[in-house]
Amino acid sequence: MAELFSEEWMQSFMTQWNAESELVGALEQIGFGSVIGYGFEGEDAPRGVITVENGKAVAAGAYNGENLNWDIRCSDAQWKKWISKPPGMMGLGMAFTSGKMKFKVGDYGSMLKDPRMAGPFIKSFSVMGRA
The string of pLDDT tens digits covering residues 65-80 is 999 999 999 999 999 9
- Coil, strand or helix at 86: coil
Percent of the chain at pLDDT > 90 equals 65
Name the percent of the chain lying above pLDDT 70: 98
Quote the pLDDT of residue 110.
74
More confident residue, 97 or 12: 12
Considering only CA atoms, which of 37, 20, 14 is closest in space to residue 119?
Answer: 20
Going by DSSP bridges, is the β-strand pair 56-62/48-53 parallel, antiparallel, or unpaired?
antiparallel
Would you state the pLDDT for residue 122? Answer: 85
Average predicted confidence (pLDDT) for the chain: 91
- What pLDDT score was predicted for residue 12? 96
Give 1's pLDDT tier (boundaries 50, 70, 90). Answer: low
pTM: predicted TM-score of the whole model, two decimal places: 0.91
- In order of start, what are the domains of the chain with their CATH numbers? 7-128 (3.30.1050.10)
Q: 127 to each of 66, 110, 121, 130, how far by Cα in Å?
A: 23, 22, 10, 5
Range in 31-40, 56-65, 89-98 the model is least confident about: 89-98
pLDDT of 128 strictly over 70: yes
